């Protein structure tokens, strides 16, 4: 685990100089907040020339985070052009084509809890409060493909601490933004998804240091198809748990219903932990296609338990039958 | 080249592409007889064999891509898939039933089999039904694609109701 990881795509110019790293806090307060408006204002998803670079963040190399993945990174173009975001269509290329219709500015997140208190948090305020770091994570889709993505963001635990919900709750529930007029996929009469898309985590899962809120990738702000302006990343679970474009967060003590689980409970469980031993009825989970793959070298690799993050998360499930609670 | 045109996951794209094209040719081959009758254009019938063979060709590619990209030519994985994923076993059965049809598509086989040739080739109705099931079984969140294909198939096969009746009588 302590193996030194050198990312071949990072140039020396990408490394944050020590001085700005030390001055980071002051720098962030100014520069990030200034650019937050820009980040949110960036509405054209297909046009990557409008991508906004993060002014400052702690790179994966400098973060001291012990678990930087020694895998080859999935190219930026693949990460941003091969997406599941059914609000914009079922085809993997639909989100890149149509997600730019989503209004990203202004963006506020409705925060509520069972105790009844509700407030709205502006994305800029949230960004101002957080230190941005880079995390390289594997992303394993339940459809048996996978990617390796350098995310930018902050631990979900930090967000929850910052929101400091009054009372103690067992679950945290998320909803994706839902605006019918902006999302052609939600207008499909034949879709069986009950919008908005919902996902949830048990509180101890949410507080695990691996759970991450991404606001960017590859040093740039997120594009709409990747879940701009902010999304969840839970790397030891199948991709559908990592809800995109978060519009609301609810703290609760009841086990929340999640979108895929309510469509097909025998196929999609609440936990959705990556597990090569428990097959999905549609896809064997023993292997995955690490993208980009090709027909003649399909890049099939064996799937690891908890997507390889078992050391950090297995304890969460030690009293759980993962065959039953998949 | 394949990678650039088909995106980062060409295996999946090729499986979809070959499967869909194969099924379209299958539907087309089934539509030819009623079309020929409807349009009183008996010469259309000569398109039936090539359409059927194209269907077999694409569905064989479909199978090859599945073997290469999804199961890596592993028998143990193949058996597991067939046992645990009914939509895959149904698809495999449909392809298997197409094999004798492709093999007996020559003029010689046709002459040799005589009346039995007709009967044998009505297996295509079973293949079509299995193919529809194969598609319906894979619906996840939106049924429009599977719905349109199945409806088309039912309409075409329904218009050949008389053939179907002969077939069921013969069994």
Q: What is the pLDDT of residues A130-168, one digit of tens each?
A: 999 999 999 999 999 999 999 999 999 999 999 999 889
Higher pLDDT, B134 or A296: B134
At A96-112, the pLDDT tens digits run 999 999 999 999 999 99
Indicate if the alpha-carbon torsion angle B58, B64, B68, B72 is positive or negative. positive
Q: How far apart are CA A177 and CA A195, in angstroms?
A: 9
Query: Closest by alpha carbon to A158, among A117, A87, A215, A243?
Result: A215
Q: What is the DSSP track for chain B?
A: -HHHHH-S-HHHHHHHHHHHHHHHHHHHHHHHHHHHHHTT-GGGGGGHHHHHHHHHHHHHHHHHHIIIIISTT-HHHHHHHHHH-HHHHHHHHHHHHHHHHHHTTSHHHHHHHTHHHHHHHTHHHHHHHHHHHHHHTT--SB-HHHHHHHHHHHHHHHTTHHHHHHHHHH-
What residues of chain B lie within 8 A of the CB of A283, using their CB?
85
Query: Closest by alpha carbon to A182, among A272, A291, A107?
Result: A107
Give the pairing type, strands A118-122 and A171-176. unpaired
pTM of structure: 0.85
At residue A88, the 3 state secondary structure works out as helix
- Radius of gyration over alpha carbons of chain A, in Å? 19
- Chain A: which residues have CB within 8 Å of chain B? 74-75, 78, 81-82, 86, 90, 92-93, 143, 145, 188, 190-193, 263-264, 279, 281-284, 286-287, 289, 291-296, 298, 300
Residue A39 has pLDDT above 70, yes or no: no
At B78-135, the pLDDT tens digits run 999 999 999 999 999 999 999 999 999 999 999 999 999 999 999 999 999 999 999 9
Residue A19 has pLDDT above 60, yes or no: no
CA distances to A100, A165, B117 from A47, rounded to whole Å, are: 9, 38, 58
- When pLDDT is cut at 50, 70 and 90, the band that residue A61 belongs to is confident
What is the pLDDT at residue A323?
A: 86
B17 touches chain A (CB under 8 A): no
* E strand or H helix at A43: none
Let me know how long chain A is. Answer: 326
Q: How far apart are CA B70 and CA B21, in angstroms?
A: 19
ipTM: 0.83
Q: How far apart are CA A120 and CA A124, in angstroms?
A: 12
At A110-135, the pLDDT tens digits run 999 999 889 999 999 999 999 999 99
B76 touches chain A (CB under 8 A): no
C-alpha A60: how far from chain center: 17
- When pLDDT is cut at 50, 70 and 90, the band that residue A281 belongs to is confident
The answer to whether A284 contacts B144, with C-beta atoms less than 8 Å apart, is: no
The residue of A295, A301, A302 whose CB has the most chain B CBs within 10 angstroms, and thus the best one to mutate to test that interface, is A295
Higher pLDDT, A40 or B167: B167
């Amino acid at each position: 685990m302590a193996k030194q990881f050198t990312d071949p795509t990072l140039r020396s110019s990408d490394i944050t100089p020590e001085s700005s790293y030390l001055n980071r806090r002051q720098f962030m307060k100014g520069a990030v907040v200034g650019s937050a408006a820009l980040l949110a204002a960036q509405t054209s998803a297909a046009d990557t020339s409008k991508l906004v670079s993060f002014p400052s963040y702690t790179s994966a190399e400098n973060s001291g985070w012990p678990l930087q993945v020694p895998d080859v990174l999935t190219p930026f173009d693949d990460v941003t052009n091969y997406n599941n975001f059914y609000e914009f269509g079922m085809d993997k290329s639909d989100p890149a084509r149509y997600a730019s219709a989503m209004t990203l500015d202004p963006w506020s997140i409705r925060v509520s809890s069972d105790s009844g208190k509700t407030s709205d948090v502006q994305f800029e305020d949230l960004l101002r409060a957080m230190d941005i770091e880079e995390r390289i994570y594997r992303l394993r889709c339940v459809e048996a493909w996978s990617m390796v993505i350098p995310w930018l963001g902050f631990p979900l635990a930090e967000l929850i601490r910052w929101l400091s919900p009054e009372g103690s709750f067992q679950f945290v529930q998320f909803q994706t933004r839902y605006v019918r007029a902006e999302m052609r996929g939600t207008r499909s009469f034949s879709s069986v998804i009950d919008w908005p898309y919902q996902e949830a985590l048990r509180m101890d899962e949410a507080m695990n240091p691996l759970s991450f809120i991404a606001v960017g990738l590859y040093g740039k702000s997120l594009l709409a198809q990747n879940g701009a302006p902010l999304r969840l990343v839970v790397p030891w679970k199948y991709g559908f748990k990592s809800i995109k474009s978060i519009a609301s967060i609810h703290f609760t003590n009841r086990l929340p219903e999640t979108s895929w689980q309510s469509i097909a409970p025998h196929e999609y469980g609440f936990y959705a932990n990556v597990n090569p031993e428990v097959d999905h009825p549609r896809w064997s989970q023993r292997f995955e296609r690490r993208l980009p793959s090709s027909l003649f070298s399909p890049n099939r690799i064996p799937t690891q338990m908890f997507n390889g993050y078992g050391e950090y998360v297995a304890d969460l499930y030690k009293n759980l039958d993962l065959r039953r609670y998949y | 080249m394949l990678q650039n045109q088909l995106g980062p996951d060409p295996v999946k794209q090729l499986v979809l592409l070959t499967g869909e094209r194969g099924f379209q040719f299958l539907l087309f081959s089934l539509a030819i007889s009623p079309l020929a009758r409807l349009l009183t254009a008996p010469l259309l019938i000569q398109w039936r064999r090539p359409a059927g063979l194209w269907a077999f060709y694409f569905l064989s590619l479909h199978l090859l891509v599945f073997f290469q990209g999804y199961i890596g030519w592993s028998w143990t994985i193949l058996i597991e898939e067939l046992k645990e994923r009914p939509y895959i076993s149904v698809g495999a059965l449909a392809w298997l039933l197409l094999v004798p049809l492709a093999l007996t598509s020559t003029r010689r086989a046709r002459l040799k089999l005589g009346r039995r040739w007709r009967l044998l080739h009505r297996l295509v109705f079973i293949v079509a039904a299995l193919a529809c099931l194969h598609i319906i079984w894979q619906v996840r969140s939106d049924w429009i694609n599977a719905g349109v294909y199945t409806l088309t198939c039912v309409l075409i096969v329904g218009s050949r109701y008389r053939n179907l009746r002969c077939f069921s009588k013969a069994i």
